[in-house]
Amino acid sequence: MKVSVIGTGKTGSAVAGLLGKQALCFDSKSNITAEKLTETDIAIIFVPGEAAEDVSKVVLESGVPAVWGTTGYAWPENLPDQVKNVNAKWVIGSNFSLGMNLIRKALNILGKGGVFLQDPEYHIHEVHHVDKKDAPSGTALSWQEWLGRDASISSDRQGDVKGIHNLHLQTNNESIYLKHEAHSRKLFAEGAIWTAEYLLKNPQIKPGVYPFSSIFDQAFSKLL
């Protein structure tokens, strides 16, 4: 598998490091062209939100499949049609931790199970490194979506924290806590590489745009 790694920030660099010679890297100074991208099997992209529009145009032109870890960007509503028109497959995720998808399932249960509790209140708190520009994090917003409940969200930026997410479910008589902490950005890099390999190994997946969670669920269902 030959991979175009677009974006060589903290997570992109971790992807490149794990891939080694399999990676063709592009940073902010590189001249990314569709021709160069077609020399690889797939692209893994971790660029900031402000760069997503320009990069996406080149990736669309190339027609290569892509795994996107960009957050803080509002994707156009017609993106699925654009991707289908070039017969490509894109996976977009705010957090490529495979363990985070187990958290997602737990959040689903805590959200639905709230009907058994009296006046439950939900609060999500996330902490990331000081260089992270979007707040709340894309993952915190995903937690609220997976929870399926109204929840207050707070954010903090400290040092080089890779990512800490907490849920506090509180009633008058009890509290429930759920926490996920990333110890290394290799966690996200491993998940993005796993996703790229899964896309390439499963040609039955139709062209279009998929959330990372749906790809995980498809793989997970094969274990049941």
Distances (CA, A) of 220 to 74, 114, 145: 28, 25, 20
Q: Is residue 178 left, alpha or beta, with left meaning phi > 0 and alpha meaning psi from -120 to 50?
A: beta
The span from the CA of 147 to the CA of 156, in Å, is 21
Percent of the chain with pLDDT over 70: 100
The span from the CA of 15 to the CA of 13, in Å, is 5
Q: Where are the domains of the chain?
A: 3-95+186-221, 98-181
Tokens of 160: 């080089």
Q: What is the pTM of this model?
A: 0.81
Which pLDDT tens digit goes with each residue over 34-77?
Answer: 999 999 999 999 999 999 999 999 999 999 999 999 988 999 99
Check whether domain 98-181 has CATH 3.30.360.10, yes or no? yes
Place of tokens 């998940």: 191
- Output the pLDDT for position 222: 85
- Output the pLDDT for position 167: 98
Which pLDDT tens digit goes with each residue over 117-175?
Answer: 999 999 999 999 999 888 999 889 989 999 999 999 999 999 999 899 999 999 999 99
- Output the pLDDT for position 224: 73
Query: Please, which residues have CB within 8 angstroms of residue 176's CB and are 6 or more apart in sequence?
Result: 110, 167, 168, 169, 170
- Output the pLDDT for position 218: 94
**CATH code assigned to 3-95+186-221:** 3.40.50.720
